[in-house]
Amino acid sequence: MKIIVIGASGLIGSAIVSALTPRHEVIAASRKSATHPVDITDKASIAKLFAGLGTFDAVISAAGGAAYRPLADLTDADFAMSLGYKLMGQVNLARLAVGHLSDGGSITLTTGVYAKEPPPNAAAIAMVNSGVNGYVIGAAGELPRGIRINAVSPPLVGPFRLNAAASRVECMTPEDVALAYVEAVEGRSTGRVIDTRSYARRT
């Protein structure tokens, strides 16, 4: 498959690229990419990237940010940035990808477990993650030509694996998180929010 990974240079994105590269043609994009620059907060930038790539079979977004601040300190600008970046940045990516995806192609966005399990200071993150989840669930049944859409929902991602003694994954490696993106692209599901904690390898 020809797969576009946006956010390919990041912690999660680079693990996705490593997981998919052996079996697929992977095109790595991000703002600072020398070959495939794109800014998901700018629709014209997304359209320009896709126009130069022809038809592709899958697009993955591992990009997007939101304000991480105490509730009382969140400003109008924080909300606008969060909505325009992780939520509408990815939604616009999905909307613009449809015209370039092959029949049966797939869109995979990134959300996060903070949608339902936010720590302090994560109200804006919870808000946009829930928006991504809602878009994926709502859009899945209306996409044309068998195009699928899913969201991958990681917890905190870092270099540590779950300790066998622990009862719950608090932090996952990017490599384990990437397995959920592989399933979203290579599997058949649509309209799913995939909680990556089911992929955690316990050490």
Ligand X SMILES: NC(=O)c1ccc[n+]([C@@H]2O[C@H](COP(=O)([O-])OP(=O)(O)OC[C@H]3O[C@@H](n4cnc5c(N)ncnc54)[C@H](OP(=O)(O)O)[C@@H]3O)[C@@H](O)[C@H]2O)c1
Residue 176 touching ligand X (CB under 6 A): no
Q: How far is the CB of 63 from ligand X (least distance, A)?
A: 3
DSSP class of 117: S
| 3-state class (DSSP) for residue 138 | helix
End-to-end CA distance of the chain: 32
Number of helices (H) and strands (E) in the chain: give both, helices first.
6, 8
Q: How far is the CB of 184 from ligand X (least distance, A)?
A: 14
| Among the residue ranges 24-32, 48-56, 94-102, 116-124, the one whose residues contact ligand X (CB under 6 A) | 24-32
Strands 156-157 and 171-172, how do they pair?
A: parallel
To 10 degrees, the CA torsion angle through 70, 115, 132, 110? 100
| Among the residue ranges 31-39, 135-143, 160-168, 181-189, the one whose residues contact ligand X (CB under 6 A) | 31-39
CB nearer to ligand X: give 10 or 131.
10
Residue 154 touching ligand X (CB under 6 A): yes
Residue 197 touching ligand X (CB under 6 A): no
Residue 102 touching ligand X (CB under 6 A): no
Q: How far is the CB of 57 from ligand X (least distance, A)?
A: 20
* Cβ neighbours, 10 Å, residue 91: 19
Q: How far is the CB of 88 from ligand X (least distance, A)?
A: 11
Residue 62 touching ligand X (CB under 6 A): yes
DSSP assignment string, 21-81: TTTSEEEEEBTT-SSSB--TT-HHHHHHHHHTT--EEEEEE---------GGG--HHHHHH
Residue 6 touching ligand X (CB under 6 A): yes
**Angle of CA points 24, 200, 147, to nearest 5°:** 40
| Among the residue ranges 57-65, 74-82, 99-107, 141-149, the one whose residues contact ligand X (CB under 6 A) | 57-65
Q: How far is the CB of 51 from ligand X (least distance, A)?
A: 16
CB nearer to ligand X: give 41 or 106.
41
CB nearer to ligand X: give 64 or 105.
64
How far is residue 61's CA from residue 58's CA, in Å, rounded to a whole number? 10
Residues that bind ligand X (CB under 6 A): 6-13, 30-32, 38-41, 62-64, 86, 89, 110, 112, 154, 156-157
